[in-house]
Chain A
């Protein structure tokens, strides 16, 4: 697999050609402006803290790593999709794969990507509409659409409608547009073990199809590729083969598929799936334009804000400081981002995914020289698992130590034994419908131990096989009983790597239960961190979101 920084395999296809060979460069090295040093005259730095913002003064000499500005999206997304379907990588054009009487299944990523949800029309809708149009033209009648949930919660009809569009929803729901059920004993088939003995399960409809079209939305290098059908349409048993403490501790990092044990295992499962059923992948890569106008400036360095932008920020901050928590949550959860589609690639898994990885690198990678003793970051209000829901303490942990910590290639941004300081209220607040097993995980498991290996050994099986959680997962809108465990393992590598984790403004009880420290102010947190890493520490602030990753030398 080719990633920027290494000699790229020759890639072909309209998107890369349109980019004029950008993928062959090393964009991270050209991003010096994204790393800003704090001086005496620097303004305070904005930290997200759940559904509010904090302005914090960082020590002079600290580095702030900002996300690269959003790349321009395709002017004509429809044509981009059509071109990708007509000239796929290492596969025949989609039209030539479709024939009357065939069984066609279209699977698509669920609502965990992108974050926040994108403004309508969703790119999945655009791709699915074009695939359906071609299928109709070719005389295909047996078509099913499946939301590839893995062991996430089921999508509600409204969420499905939002994702695939009203026309498709009205034509297919509920009998031919539905959620994958990872716990359905009759709805899944075993495809046999991989070369390393990992079990592979696939949705029965997908496995028995003549062609599976998988629609990916790529916002990070973690996503996409041939692992997606194996995970998204898999079962608890097949997913647990790589979502375990050992794999996640040896994934350095999830954002670097080449060095990720998680990816290696899932790719092996993907190979088994691809051998069993032909899969036509369509990957749409988005830029990082997370903030809609007039809040677009939030992704810029604070020193570059105009007077008007400062006034808007002040208004927003005062509003979020004063609004009741419920109002704030509703407001934030309703926001949708004006992402641009920067590329669409289709065809065989590896070749199509390689284009997406190059596009991701072009959009997101920032070169950072050297690790830091202390890394700070603001945790936002959303993670992949609380769309239209509540960010509970376990999700805060997985976002901070699972996602934010792992947004690197090469080495982690923080040195071994260093300190991570996050801003988030870490409220002990759970969505009773979406996260029932999280509540028990928090109350029962974390009261006993926070060691991921012990958690896995002692508790995971009983939660995964609990009939009540299984019932809620299959019939309600609950995450799988084992899901909170995976969230905890997600941070296993970080827990092993860092010396201390401090949440500024975090709820004392919740932080204590998860084994973290908390402070009221950033200055207190820095003083606490100094006790761990020594005097005059180096500090880097990871100014995420919008999403990006660091290539650390």
Chain B
């Protein structure tokens, strides 16, 4: 179909330019938050920015976190931390598995971790969300030390995470896969990783963040939150990942119940 092409000045003046008004404007690129195989994502996403884990950038990250990220997080979320000191008795590397309700969970957990853990911890970040552009990837890596985690092809993401564990990094992965209200939807991928790599799984519960920064919104209010670390769950050599995950989910639920008291 050939379309009329006159009246460009009117279109520019009226701010149309082929785009309708704000209410019905089509986004330049659709936001991808769902998991699943994305046939168009091959080769589009930005690769892991490994250089950000070197000593120089790590120092810059520590400075940024201590001067900006953590003060702001504590100001907004007033976290009450439970069980962080006990982590000193847990062998590293390990997999940290918190529940996930808000984007604020990651800075809260990082702020709550002892320094010996925090500087050795990477965050598995959805590659379809944080690694769409190089500048997002660098920003995320610089602030919270992320590595891309491919939610679409889960085995590929887990293999990358296992590699990092072998290198001695703790990996923080959200077993629910995406921000979810409640304790449902724990997937077995994290447990498979622990069984395969032979590392402990540390259940973590973050409470109260969904009210401060719900999914799809910015910070809407200040409030009180809790970050509770549980006892590590050790995988038996031939344990079914589903069983391990069930134990971990129970542990997180128990933390939720105890931290609510």
- In this complex, the interface size class of chain B, counting residues with CB under 8 Å from chain A, is 20 to 34
- State which residues 510-553 of A face B: CB under 8 Å: 520-521, 523, 526, 530, 536
Instruction: Tell me whether A313 and B10 are in contact (CB under 8 A).
Output: yes
Total contacting residues, chain A, CB less than 8 A: 38
Instruction: Tell me whether B13 and A314 are in contact (CB under 8 A).
Output: yes
A sample of 14 more A-B contacts (CB under 8 A), given A44-B11, A313-B10, is A40-B5, A43-B7, A49-B20, A49-B21, A52-B21, A54-B20, A57-B4, A60-B2, A305-B10, A314-B14, A314-B15, A317-B14, A321-B15, A523-B3
Q: Mark B206-221, 1 if CB is under 8 A from A, else 0.
A: 0000000000000000
Q: Chain A residues with Cβ under 8 A from B3's Cβ?
A: 57-60, 523
Instruction: Tell me whether A54 and B6 are in contact (CB under 8 A).
Output: no
Instruction: Tell me whether A59 and B1 are in contact (CB under 8 A).
Output: yes
Q: Chain A residues with Cβ under 8 A from B23's Cβ?
A: 52, 321, 325, 425, 505
Give, as a whole number of angstroms, the nearest-CB distance from A104 to chain B.
50
Instruction: Tell me whether A38 and B4 are in contact (CB under 8 A).
Output: yes
Q: Chain B residues with Cβ under 8 A from A536's Cβ?
A: 1
Give, as a whole number of angstroms, the nearest-CB distance from A502 to chain B.
14
B24 at the interface (CB under 8 A from A): yes
Given contacts A310-B10, A321-B15, contact A520 B5 (CB under 8 A): no
Q: Chain B residues with Cβ under 8 A from A42's Cβ?
A: 4, 6-7
Give, as a whole number of angstroms, the nearest-CB distance from B27 to chain A.
10
A337 at the interface (CB under 8 A from B): no
Instruction: Tell me whether B10 and A43 are in contact (CB under 8 A).
Output: yes
B63 at the interface (CB under 8 A from A): no
Instruction: Tell me whether A41 and B5 are in contact (CB under 8 A).
Output: yes
Can you list 20 pairs linking A and B with CB atoms under 8 Å apart?
A41-B4, A42-B4, A42-B7, A44-B16, A49-B20, A49-B24, A52-B20, A54-B16, A55-B16, A57-B3, A58-B3, A310-B14, A317-B15, A317-B21, A318-B14, A321-B15, A321-B23, A505-B23, A521-B18, A521-B20
Question: Max chain B CB contacts within 10 Å: which of A57, A322, A523?
Answer: A57
Instruction: Tell me whether B24 and A425 are in contact (CB under 8 A).
Output: yes
B26 at the interface (CB under 8 A from A): yes
Please tell me which one of the listed residues A43, A321, A520 contacts residue B21 in the complex, with CB atoms under 8 A apart: A321
A39 at the interface (CB under 8 A from B): yes
B9 at the interface (CB under 8 A from A): yes
A122 at the interface (CB under 8 A from B): no
Q: Chain A residues with Cβ under 8 A from B9's Cβ?
A: 310
Instruction: Tell me whether B10 and A60 are in contact (CB under 8 A).
Output: no
A302 at the interface (CB under 8 A from B): yes
Please tell me which one of the listed residues B4, B15, B26 contacts residue A60 in the complex, with CB atoms under 8 A apart: B4
Q: Mark A305-346, 1 if CB is under 8 A from B, else 0.
A: 100001101100110111001000000000000000000000
Q: Chain A residues with Cβ under 8 A from B21's Cβ?
A: 49, 52-54, 317, 320-322
Instruction: Tell me whether B2 and A313 are in contact (CB under 8 A).
Output: no
Q: Mark A288-308, 1 if CB is under 8 A from B, else 0.
A: 000000000000001101000
Q: Chain B residues with Cβ under 8 A from A41's Cβ?
A: 4-6
Q: Chain A residues with Cβ under 8 A from B13's Cβ?
A: 310-311, 313-314
Question: Max chain A CB contacts within 10 Å: which of B4, B14, B21, B24?
Answer: B4
Q: Chain A residues with Cβ under 8 A from B15's Cβ?
A: 314, 317-318, 321
- State which residues 39-82 of A face B: CB under 8 Å: 39-45, 49, 52-55, 57-60
